[in-house]
Amino acid sequence: MMSQSTEPPIFRIDTPPADALAAFHRDGYVAFPEVFTEAGLAGLTEEILDYAPVREFLSLSPAERAGLSNPSIYFIRPWNDRGVWSDRLIDAPLVTALLRATLGPAYHFCHSALNVALRGAGPIGFHQDHHHWFHTNAVNLAEREKGYIQILYYPNGFTRGDRSLSVIPGSHRIAPTAEVTPEKLLSGAFNHQAQRELKVEQLELPPGSMVYLNARMFHAVEPKPLDSPQPFRLFVIDIFKEAGPPHRYTQEIPAAWLERAGPERKTLFDREPYSPECWTRPVH
Ligand SMILES: O=C(O)CCC(=O)C(=O)O
Ligand SMILES: [Fe+2]
């Protein structure tokens, strides 16, 4: 494999702008509009559209599509069949700089997913993705304050109201116990705790954008209207966790990934994958 320095960069920047980390800590997310290089965006897009299951999904006839359990979404988790550009996302200098600044030196790659949403795709309600809050094993309780980061990539972007990402900035600061529902958050009941007005913001991002998100922050996705001018929205997510026991979906690392990983990347992959008994098995 080529050394890092001779690879064309996938992002326009290698380090976050000065105000990005403050925004992340204040809001629970920070967006990087048009952060991909031209070559990086073209390469990533081509890898997704060339991926056989995506090609097949996009070429289905309406009748074939109607037979699918979710006719308007292609989804795979983990997304292991990555080409050179999508592989490069995992430890691109910008990603590494952000993860070190927010999770510290000890963090791991958790898992990834790929999602293609067609016109007619439904909404996703407000939710958090920090799964240790949804389970009460000793392991889960101990992991709740650990950092869990989702990096969302939008190769062809989205406009407001068209499969757009919505966020409740500041909601990551509220401990997500059972009584903290999105409805209560938005009613103002927790504004004092967040020290700000918690309200929904619907984002809009151009092609080649990225969102760096604390998975404790409530977020949602708008449906994709049937008359959307964009035929489909592409979405890739890479998830990282502070070192520790498996999170939900912490994936097996494919043997081929391990073989070609350099020493730094190997440390990202050096963790136990999720298994149904990983949180309940007695600790020796
Ligand atoms: O589709 C999106 O923009 C975000 C989806 C989401 O909430 C997630 O993958 O956790
Ligand atoms: Fe989510």
Distance from the CA of 221 to the center of ligand 1, in angstroms?
Answer: 7
Residues 125-144 have a mean pLDDT of 92
Give the tens place of pLDDT for each residue, 83-95. 999 999 999 999 9
Residues 245-266 have a mean pLDDT of 96
Predicted pLDDT at 175: 82
Give the tens place of pLDDT for each residue, 46-97. 999 999 999 999 999 999 999 999 999 999 999 999 999 999 999 999 999 9
Half-sphere exposure of 220 (CA within 13 A, CB side): 19
The average confidence (pLDDT) of the chain is 95
Predicted pLDDT at 100: 98
Predicted pLDDT at 282: 79
In a domain, 129, yes or no: yes
- How far is 269 from 108, CA to CA, in rounded Å? 6
In a domain, 107, yes or no: yes
State whether the beta carbon of 237 lies less than 6 angstroms from ligand 1. yes
Give the tens place of pLDDT for each residue, 111-133. 999 999 999 999 999 999 988 98
In a domain, 57, yes or no: yes
The alpha carbon dihedral of 222, 225, 230, 235 has a sign of positive
Distance from the CA of 154 to the center of ligand 2, in angstroms?
Answer: 14
Instruction: Tell me the residue type at 234.
Output: L
Q: Is the peptide bond before 78 cis (omega within 30 degrees of 0)?
A: yes
Distance from the CA of 128 to the center of ligand 2, in angstroms?
Answer: 6
Q: How far is C-alpha 128 from the geometric centre of its chain's CA atoms?
A: 12
Q: If pLDDT is split at 50, 70 and 90, which confidence band does 225 have? A: very high
Q: Which residues contact 267 (CB under 8 A, 6 or more apart)?
A: none
Distance from the CA of 122 to the center of ligand 1, in angstroms?
Answer: 12
Predicted pLDDT at 1: 47
Distance from the CA of 3 to the center of ligand 2, in angstroms?
Answer: 34
Residues 261-269 have a mean pLDDT of 97
Predicted pLDDT at 281: 86
Residue 12 has pLDDT above 80, yes or no: yes
Indicate which ligand has the atom closest to the C-alpha of 217: 2
CB atoms within 5 A of ion ligand 2 belong to: 129
In a domain, 149, yes or no: yes
In a domain, 78, yes or no: yes
Indicate which ligand has the atom closest to the C-alpha of 128: 2
Predicted pLDDT at 2: 47
Residue 3 has pLDDT above 60, yes or no: no
Q: Which domain holds residue 227?
A: 4-269
Percent of the chain with pLDDT over 70: 97
- State the closest ligand 1 atom to the C-alpha of 158, by its place in the atom list counted from 1: 3
State whether the beta carbon of 29 lies less than 6 angstroms from ligand 1. no
Predicted pLDDT at 284: 58
Predicted pLDDT at 102: 97
Structure tokens at 166: 């919505």
CB atoms within 10 A of CB 109: 23
Predicted pLDDT at 5: 56
In a domain, 277, yes or no: no
To test the ligand 1 pocket, which listed residue (149, 150, 237, 249) has its Cβ within 8 A of the most ligand atoms? 237
In a domain, 15, yes or no: yes
Domain tally for the chain? Answer: 1
Percent of the chain with pLDDT over 90: 91
In a domain, 281, yes or no: no
Question: Could you identify the residue written with the tokens 């070429």?
Answer: 59
State whether the beta carbon of 94 lies less than 6 angstroms from ligand 1. no
Q: If pLDDT is split at 50, 70 and 90, which confidence band does 44 have? A: very high
Structure tokens at 100: 């070190």
Q: Which residues contact 32 (CB under 8 A, 6 or more apart)?
A: 13, 16, 20, 94, 209, 210, 211, 212
Q: What is the CATH number of the domain that holds 121?
A: 2.60.120.620
Distance from the CA of 45 to the center of ligand 1, in angstroms?
Answer: 18
Q: If pLDDT is split at 50, 70 and 90, which confidence band does 283 have? A: low
Cα separation values, 104 from 14, 90, 146, Å: 17, 16, 11
Q: Where are the beta strands (DSSP E) in the chain?
A: 29-32, 73-76, 107-118, 124-127, 148-154, 165-167, 201-202, 209-214, 219-221, 232-242
- State the closest ligand 1 atom to the C-alpha of 219, by its place in the atom list counted from 1: 7
- How far is 101 from 98, CA to CA, in rounded Å? 5
